[in-house]
Chain A
Amino acid sequence: MRLSEHSYRTVTSLAGPILFLENVRNAKIGEVVNVKTGEGRNIEGEVLSIDRGKVLIEVYGESQGLDLGHTSVVFTDSVKKIPLSRDIVGRSFNGSFEPIDGLPMYIPDRYEAITGVPINPASRSGPEEFISTGLSVIDGLNTLVKGQKLPVFSASGLPSREVVAFILKHATTLAAEKNFMVIFAALGLSFHDYSFYMETLQQMASGYTAFITMADDPVMERLLAPRYALTVAEYLAFEHDMDVLVIMTDMTNYCDALREIATARKELPGRRGYPGYMYSDLASLYERAGRVNGKSGSVTMLPVLTMPEDDITHPIPDLTGYITEGQIVLSRELHQKSIFPPVDALPCLSRLMNSGIGKGKTREDHRIVANLLYKYYAKGRKLRKLEAIIGREGLSSDDRVMLDFADGFEKHFIHQGEKPRDIFQTLDEGRNILAQFSLDLP
């Protein structure tokens, strides 16, 4: 603890959200500072690095208008913390953690640092309980389980927004316990998307908390909002036994913010200009998903990102895929065929599916139905390429059945429009399609 408040007017340089301060006597890494502008505006910031008396500060808020002469910086001797309370359920906040729903701030139960603390791997318990999203292609083929992190890989022009809205509205656990809730973190939204999501939130069946940062909000807030969301999620999951589903969109905006700040810090850029530590940074978010031995709550994560140039090897989807436990990939081709959700089942994967399905969890025939659907669809898709070259007539009758199956599967199983299906309807639908083409059934 420092006894006196330290205040400095020794700013030596300013660039974007980055500020250098000299002759600092005392500072800590991660320490929150209050930057006061000449006009008396107060902006929060954080100490990023210290070199003798020279301190590099990252400003959370709008840095426009700061100057060298009139800016003063006050050190607080504390890291960034947010107030927590069960009353946060049902509330919406901006990137500065201020309520935007017109209601007053709740009375905090306590404060917690937003960076979180890693879960001891020895205390994790394996994810194995099914979460229903209402979408057949996810529930049936790429099942999401409590404690998992499963991202949606979208591309520009694809309806990731509608897919997210669908899941927001229909996600539930099988037993539909009242302890299920959604935390929604929107990173860099346009106003158009904002109105869309706010409307969706009103229609939600489960409880929710929202953190909304807009496209014209300071970039730093995009880095903060997911951390608010996860800190709240951990609190509700591990202190109040809730099953929390965290939906974050769009993580591409998050990564771009990370790059923007790295550039302002004059760091050496890595692949495509993104910083070399992006893997560790993303992991510090995604690894906060999980379940802990002896606690009944869980943190499950469904981040959404846009693949730049539809390229799955771009660092954003690539590093995400390396951290998360599978991926749901949207396809332009299916979207053009008016299939909703336009999910390309082939590159999708849920790595924790095995432990979350079957007798007593979903249904006994789940594994085998999923395997058969995948197998025949993959075959049909492969044959489509051949068909394009040698024509349908050149194919054997068995092959033609596969082709038709692939079409039917897209039209009837993947496509479901607005209507949610529970897991039993999903599996029945799968069996129907198999039966329709006289393919062997379990």
Chain B
Amino acid sequence: MNLQHRLSSGKFVILAEMHTPKGVDISDLITNARGLKGRVDAVIIPDMDNGVMRMSALAGGALISREGIESMIHIYARDRNRLALQGDILAAHVLGIKNLLVVQGEEMRLGDHREANPVDDMDELELIRTVKTLQGGKDSAGFDLAGKPSFGVGCTMSLWTSDRELDLELEKTAGKIEAGAQFIILPPMFEAEQLVAVIEKIRGFRVPVISTVFILKSVGVARYMSLKMDGINIPEELIQRIRKAGDREDECLRIAGETIAAFGQLSQGVRIETMGWEHKLPIILDYAGR
């Protein structure tokens, strides 16, 4: 059963994030993907995440599909105008990519090509509408397409730091769903209570909600995120648990696994943000009991 069917029939899904290389050596990507075959419902390929130039997600998604694993690629409008975006979306369909995740691009000044000129020809909402228009057999200028592409289309919610920000985020998300997004992927969370609270608020949207488990790779990463990233709440006990463990790396994997299992009870799916630990996903899934 493919991802769209699983989502629409209320079945639980696991999505694992994998990055394309900064370069042309795809061996790790392929090896890691093969190790996950049959264990995840889809692999998500971000497109130049955090503004770091890498091989495009389009190529990454196509490679994953070629391995017989369902893929989902990020799309956003920072780097491509409406022609390039639509061209890539059509290409994604013929290359076997079954899902698109419409995201907001990182600000250029935070990436690794800070001098670049951002394009920003459309926003997230317009991009979701454009995908819908393409699926209806027309391009955004109203011209007919020869053959319609089809995708599962998801949107994301950004982190919030106050109830007011959460309300705004919910309003934006409602707009994205109205525009055509079929599922929501939540930002990373580290304790069940946070997730329960937000899921309660988005129940009314009546679309599948996928939570995000971010693999904490060390005490340093956890502390850094806690301090520097607005909206990230990592319980101190979790950080202490890693700090006190005999085998800290294994403890990190265990925590990720346990969080997946816990979030799996609360949301319809889990996205695993790997941060370079793609090769450890099989162990994490073991710990999650998947």
- Tell me, yes or no, whether A binds B: no
A-side residues, CB < 8 A to B, are none
B-side residues, CB < 8 A to A, are none
